Amino acid sequence: MEQLNAVNDFVVRFANVNGTGSASANNMFAKAIFRMGIPVTPKNIFPSNIQGLPTWYEVRISEKGYLGRREGVDLMACVNPQSMAEDVRSVKPGGYFLYDSTKKLHPELVRDDIHYIGVPMTSMVMHHYSDPRQRQLFKNVVYVGALSALLDIEFEVLESIIRDQFQKKEKLIAPNIKALNLGRQYVHDNYEYPLGIRLERRDNVKDSILIDGNTACALGAIYGGATVAAWYPITPSTSVVSAFGKYAHKLRVDPESGKRKFAIVQAEDELAAMGVVIGATWNGARAFTATSGPGVSLMSEFLGLAYFAEIPAVLINVQRGGPSTGMPTRTQQPDILSSAYASHGDTKHILLFPSTPAECFEMTATALDLADRFQTPVLVMSDLDLGMNEHMSPPLKWDDNRAYDRGKVLNAEELEKIEKFGRYLDVDGDGVCYRTIPGTHPTKGSFFTRGTSKDEYARYTENGEAYMRNVDRLIRKWETAKQKVPAPELYQSENRHKYGMAFFGTTTYAALEAMALLRERGVELDALRILSFPFNDTALEFINQHEKVFVIEQNRDAQMRSLLINELEISPRKLIPILNYDGKPIPADTIEQQIIKTFQSESTQDDVHKAQVQAS
Amino acid sequence: MTYIKPRFRHPELPKNKIGYAKADYEGAISTLCAGCGHDSISGAIVQSCYELSIEPHRLAKLSGIGCSSKTPTYFLSNSHGFNTVHGRMPSIATGAYLANRELIYLGVSGDGDSASIGMGQFVHAIRRNVNMVYIVMNNGCYGLTKGQHSATADAGAQSKTGSVNPFPSIDLVGLALELGATFVGRSFSGDKKQLVPLIKAAMSHPGFALLDVISPCVTFNNKPQSTKSYDYVRAHLEATATIDFVPHREEITVSYQPGHSASVELHDGSVIQLHKLAPHWDPTDRSSAVTRLLESKIKGEILTGLLYIDPESQGLHELEETVEVPLNTLQEEHLNPGSALLEDINNSFR
């Protein structure tokens, strides 16, 4: 029988039952590979359920450092009888199927083109542990032990992870290591190992960290000086605020008084969460919320108020599959348009698109600066894949000389010198006006904040000219913001090729891998990564300099493409959508195939490209 | 009618303890209908702030949407104001209070703003005991959209167009008592003598203070049959007690006969004095307030005055154990843990 062979380049998938404590064992597996210096990408594929339904954990190992998802399972570790038939089917021919052999495998589940490795996990833990909960938990550790032998994971590395994990519960170290050894020993006694697919230590992760985007966003909010967090629980954003709470309790408690330098409000709904944020920022604190698509819909009214009354607000949008309740535990990038134009009337918002946890950290802190600088909402557009899965990321960095940009806020001394304060007077001509914080000065600087139309002195008016002066100034402010938001990243020193590709957020990993795959086939593309909205001139130039640009994203309606067309007045024919919206992170080969297909079906495309593609 | 308000002030106008004249607490001229109850409440707010010697910039006024929510323009023009969106003022006030615990927060809302679209936020601001005064200018109808019944209109109430409200009314005072509100009072826009000390007491209370103020809508809901009309309210008014508010700086001079009076001392040392107490009612006993309220309702009376106060009330900041200084005064050095600690955090992810 054929067998798959590979060193440091394969996919392992775990099939578990939700709520059985498999997550920590699976994380240990991924982290061990990471600590062996080999790039790794773990992904949770989980149901909207707390206990009982099937859940999967997929680990891609890629020595070359490709961090996107890859289709096809090389090794399946299945400890869930419910999903076993599906799991057997998903293994690539020549691949491996590790299962709990306490119960004999049903003959229908036996394929003749894959390798079966049975380990009687249940009977082993029944024999070695007495506590029912421990039996369930250590079953997971037993299969990690078995895999350590099968794939050549360094045992000392696994031990080091267990020691780190149970620093404060030392009693648990020995039974965990025992469980690892049980699995390892069983393989040693019954199978030839390692398998054709295996690991070898490398030095390819350097100073990287393995962290999820939501934790990184939370740390960005801590470092960026947010003192008020308001939220309503919603998957997949919930862990942003729980991580903020966890770190705030460590890093933001006054050592002398034990009092907190932060406040967290679990609001009654997303409307109130956004209201608390706006109330706090109006009153001079830095504040943020985290939510997902349904929450953005509910917050839209307040986002419009913050836009029009010009109040800072930061919203971390951890996107999930829509519309409506959609696929709450699956990933997508489906809120581009609803976030960019959230709320009625002529409204638009600054968006930032992080693609790594390091950027989640950096962009959350930057969002707090931009919100203050431009007195407007800033939305950090993460997604479930980035937010809830661990990613290999550059380390989080903070320059101790970096000062918060609190924007144009007048203090009492400055107000003293001003004859007449006008909250919406464009003194500097950049569309950004000076604001005051309540309580600053006894007789100067007070004004009435409102969502209605107003003049330069914040007085209610229905005068059409005053209204237009105000909304036209908001566009001036928008133009100023264009120069301040993070510029797009180009992957070539100059644009050389006829075709380009544009992508953003979590699509980046797969897009860059696809670019390499296409290059191997002789198809060369220039690439642009969008980091923010409003789009800056580099994005327009990039599109203008190419005959066609593939816009790669994870939603049905090619929303980023629509936004580019709408905002940069680009001919729709010029932008070709490359889409993936099944709720799983976009894989590189999907992009590659769609681009190739476009080339093949394009009658107008030039012959050189055609020849290249056909030759490959 | 002119919309220009003269700025001239007589130099001999009396001043309060911090040197402000009453006019310094006024706002722009009201654009509400002549005779609107809301304007009387605005006047009571001005009076209260003047008498309490509040520095105008140490108070923030917030409102939702509706006739009532327009009023913050008509008082305290030296205070920051925030006219938010419909029914969402409580969340804005919560955030503002979290950012700066030192200001006085005065929320103004209406029966539509609080009992319908904003019911959720109203309820949760009470639950969190946000330190604010929350005045509902309650007229039982939607004024700005021309007189539809609101959720506080009594069953059988007839609007100007003749439509009869078939639904029972939501009693915000009863609801607040049930929810555990730490300060609950009801008053009438036409009874300044009662309203001013109630507002002053509410401003001194460390927690959420609800004042449900019946405020007749002269244009859409002032027929004598309406339970929110001047005539009806005057005819059915009943009070838990008469109320005096004595700020902590003043000495208490008047004494009343024991048995008919009670006084409640607040955290800041000020005292609420109550006289001619209703039978079987104790201002610090929630169940006696609930009982008294029900009895009045059965009799067709409108019970006003202070209904309940919890002298041990603790605001949201106390419950959240935040630092004593306002969060909005904290700077980088207080908030940012620095790069060295970040490196430790990085290491925990390796």
B141-165 pLDDT, tens digit per residue, is 999 998 899 999 989 888 777 888 9
CATH code, domain carrying A501: 3.40.50.920
The 10 Å Cβ neighbour count of residue B198 is 27
Q: Is the CB of A271 less than 8 angstroms away from the CB of B81?
A: no
Q: Is the CB of B328 less than 8 angstroms away from the CB of A285?
A: yes
Separation CA A261–CA A259 (nearest Å) = 7
pLDDT over 90 for what percent of chain A? 94
Residue B32, chain A, CB below 8 Å: the answer is no
Chain A contacts of B100, Cβ < 8 Å?
A: 283-285, 438-439
Same domain, A116 and A50: yes
CATH code, domain carrying A338: 3.40.50.970
Answer yes or no: is pLDDT of A610 > 60: no
Separation CA B260–CA A139 (nearest Å) = 74
pLDDT for the residue A613: 54
pLDDT for the residue B149: 93
Which of B336, B339, B344, B347 to mutate against chain A (most A CBs within 10 Å)? Answer: B336
pLDDT band for position B256 (cuts 50, 70, 90) = low
Answer yes or no: is pLDDT of B254 > 70: no
Shortest distance between the Cα of A460 and any Cα of chain B, in A, equals: 10
In a domain, A398, yes or no: no
Answer yes or no: is pLDDT of B266 > 60: yes
Separation CA A171–CA A179 (nearest Å) = 14
Q: Would you state the structure tokens that stand for residue A206, as one six-digit string?
A: 């350097």
Mean pLDDT on A263-272: 98
Q: Is the CB of B128 less than 8 angstroms away from the CB of A272?
A: no
What CA–CA distances, in Å, run from A234 to A212, A392, A506? 17, 25, 20
Which has the closest alpha carbon to A502: A548, A555, A556, A567?
A: A548
pLDDT for the residue A255: 94
Average pLDDT, chain A: 95
Domain borders along chain B are 22-329
Residue B100, chain A, CB below 8 Å: the answer is yes
- The span from the first CA to the last CA of chain A, in angstroms, equals 29
In a domain, A406, yes or no: no
Task: Output the pTM of the full model.
Answer: 0.96
Same domain, A232 and A376: yes
Average pLDDT, chain B: 92
CB contacts < 8 A, A to B, total: 221
pLDDT for the residue B252: 52
CATH topology classification for B22-329 = Rossmann fold (3.40.50)
Q: Is the CB of A262 less than 8 angstroms away from the CB of B327?
A: yes
pLDDT for the residue B279: 87
Q: Which residue of A has its CA nearest to B98?
A: A280
Chain B contacts of A449, Cβ < 8 Å?
A: 80-83
Mean pLDDT on A572-589: 96
Separation CA A414–CA A405 (nearest Å) = 18
Mean pLDDT on A442-446: 93
In a domain, A384, yes or no: yes
Q: Is the CB of A280 less than 8 angstroms away from the CB of B98?
A: yes
What totals of helices (H) and strands (E) does chain B contain, helices first? 12, 13
Mean pLDDT on B28-41: 95
Q: Which of A484, A518, A537 is the last residue of a domain?
A: A484
Phi-psi region of B287 (alpha: psi -120 to 50; beta: other; left: phi over 0): alpha
Does residue B267 or residue A206 have the better pLDDT?
Answer: A206
Contacts of A319 (CB under 8 A, 6+ apart): A292, A293, A331, A332, A333, A334, A335, A381, A382, A383, A384
- Cis-peptide, bond into residue A236, ω within 30° of zero: yes
Q: Is the CB of A211 less than 8 angstroms away from the CB of B349?
A: yes
pLDDT band for position A580 (cuts 50, 70, 90) = very high
Contacts of A32 (CB under 8 A, 6+ apart): A148, A153, A154, A157, A158, A161
Residues 50-89 in B contacting A (C-alpha not used; CB under 8 Å): 55-58, 60, 72-73, 77-85, 88
Which of A276, A391, A444 to mutate against chain B (most B CBs within 10 Å)? Answer: A276
Q: Which residue of B has its CA nearest to A260?
A: B322
Same domain, A510 and A468: no
Q: Is the CB of B328 less than 8 angstroms away from the CB of A262?
A: no
pLDDT for the residue B10: 77
Contacts of B256 (CB under 8 A, 6+ apart): B273, B275
Q: Is the CB of B92 less than 8 angstroms away from the CB of A279?
A: yes
B235-244 pLDDT, tens digit each:
999 999 999 9
Separation CA A49–CA A17 (nearest Å) = 10
Same domain, A149 and A242: no
Of A268, A301, A449, the CB nearest to B83: A449
3-state secondary structure of A8: coil
Chain B contacts of A269, Cβ < 8 Å?
A: 120
Residues 102-141 in B contacting A (C-alpha not used; CB under 8 Å): 102-103, 120-121, 123-124, 128
pLDDT for the residue B333: 95
CA angle at B58 for the pair B54 and B64, rounded to the nearest 5°: 105
A511-522 pLDDT, tens digit each:
999 999 999 999
Q: In this structure, are residues A481 and A374 in contact, taking their beta carbons and an 8 Å threshold?
A: yes
Same domain, A15 and A127: yes
| Count of structural domains within chain A | 4
Q: Would you state the structure tokens that stand for residue B165, as one six-digit string?
A: 């409200």
Listed in order, strand segments (DSSP E) in A510-603 are 526-529, 532-533, 548-553, 575-579
DSSP string for A327-391: BTTS-----HHHHHT-SSSS---EEE---SHHHHHHHHHHHHHHHHHHTSEEEEEEEHHHHHSEE
Mean pLDDT on A148-152: 98
Is the ipTM higher than 0.90? The answer is: yes
pLDDT for the residue B248: 75
Chain B contacts of A438, Cβ < 8 Å?
A: 57, 60, 79-80, 96, 100, 103
Chain A contacts of B334, Cβ < 8 Å?
A: 261
- Cis-peptide, bond into residue A194, ω within 30° of zero: yes
Answer yes or no: is pLDDT of A67 > 70: yes
Mean pLDDT on B328-348: 97
Q: Is the CB of A219 less than 8 angstroms away from the CB of B94?
A: no
In a domain, A316, yes or no: yes
Q: Is the CB of A282 less than 8 angstroms away from the CB of B327?
A: no
Q: Which amino acid is at A278?
A: I
Shortest distance between the Cα of B56 and any Cα of chain A, in A, equals: 7
Phi, psi of B255 (to 5 degrees): -125, 145
What is the torsion angle, in degrees rounded to the nearest 10, for the CA atoms of residue B280, residue B285, residue B291 and residue B292? 60
A209-233 pLDDT, tens digit each:
999 999 999 999 999 999 999 999 9
Answer yes or no: is pLDDT of A442 > 60: yes
N residues, chain B: 350
pLDDT over 70 for what percent of chain A? 98
Chain A contacts of B55, Cβ < 8 Å?
A: 442
Mean pLDDT on A545-556: 98
pLDDT band for position A27 (cuts 50, 70, 90) = very high
Same domain, A148 and A23: yes
Chain A contacts of B92, Cβ < 8 Å?
A: 275-276, 278-279, 282
- The span from the first CA to the last CA of chain B, in angstroms, equals 74
Shortest distance between the Cα of A374 and any Cα of chain B, in A, equals: 18
Phi, psi of B23 (to 5 degrees): -60, -25
Separation CA B137–CA B308 (nearest Å) = 19
Chain B contacts of A210, Cβ < 8 Å?
A: 349-350
Contacts of B338 (CB under 8 A, 6+ apart): A398, A400
Chain A contacts of B350, Cβ < 8 Å?
A: 34-35, 208-210
Of A35, A276, A460, the CB nearest to B95: A276
Same domain, A133 and A167: yes
Same domain, A230 and A354: yes
pLDDT for the residue B1: 41
Mean pLDDT on B85-107: 98
Q: Is the CB of B349 less than 8 angstroms away from the CB of A265?
A: no
Answer yes or no: is pLDDT of A62 > 80: yes
pLDDT for the residue A48: 85
Can you list the alpha helix ranges (DSSP code H) found in A432-530? 464-484, 507-520
In a domain, A402, yes or no: no
Q: Is the CB of A283 less than 8 angstroms away from the CB of B338?
A: no
pLDDT band for position A49 (cuts 50, 70, 90) = confident
Q: Would you state the structure tokens that stand for residue A530, as one six-digit string?
A: 């969008």
Residue A387, classified by CB atoms within 10 Å of its CB into exposed (0-12), middle (13-18) or buried (19+), is buried
DSSP string for B189-225: TT-HHHHHHHHHHHHHSSSEEEEEEE---TTTS-STT
A111 is in which domain, residue-wise? 6-198
CA angle at A509 for the pair A503 and A513, rounded to the nearest 5°: 95
Mean pLDDT on A297-320: 98
CATH code, domain carrying A136: 3.40.920.10
Contacts of A438 (CB under 8 A, 6+ apart): A282, A283, A284, A446, B57, B60, B79, B80, B96, B100, B103
